[in-house]
């Protein structure tokens, strides 16, 4: 039997404290939050994380994480449905 110890850690997520079991990767955090990694930008401790590094970048206790979701849109002209 493997002894995989998970620790409760506190991070700041978009400026709000959040308790998580970790450490965990950026990809795992996005999965827990129900976010698609293709539609967000992530910064960990003031460093932008490239999408290809989401699976290997670990978030630890006291990390500061910012997640920004991309929102599609346009001028709004001609987009109304009748």
Residues in the chain: 82
Q: Rounded to an integer, what distance in angstroms lies between the CA atom of residue 3 and that of residue 11?
A: 24
Dihedral (C-alpha) 32, 71, 50, 37: value to the nearest 10 degrees? 30
Helix (H, G, I), strand (E, B) or coil at 55: coil
Give the β-pairing of 7-13 and 64-69: parallel
Phi first, then psi: what are they for 30, rounded to 5°? -60, -40
pTM, 2 dp: 0.79
The answer regarding whether domain 7-69 maps to CATH 3.90.1150.10 reads no
Question: What are the sequence ranges of the domains in the chain?
Answer: 7-69
Q: Walk along the chain (82 residues) and give the pLDDT tens digit of each residue.
A: 444 567 899 999 999 999 999 889 999 999 999 999 999 999 999 999 999 999 999 999 999 999 999 887 765 555 444 4
Q: Rounded to an integer, what distance in angstroms lies between the CA atom of residue 28 and that of residue 79?
A: 36
């Amino acid at each position: 039997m493997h002894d995989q110890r998970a620790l409760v850690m506190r991070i700041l997520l978009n400026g709000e404290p959040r308790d998580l079991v970790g450490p965990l990767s950026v990809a795992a955090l996005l999965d827990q939050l129900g976010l698609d990694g293709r539609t967000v930008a992530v910064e960990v401790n003031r460093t932008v994380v490239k999408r290809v590094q989401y699976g290997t970048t670990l978030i630890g206790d006291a990390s500061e994480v910012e997640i920004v979701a991309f929102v599609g849109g346009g001028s709004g002209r001609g987009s109304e449905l009748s």
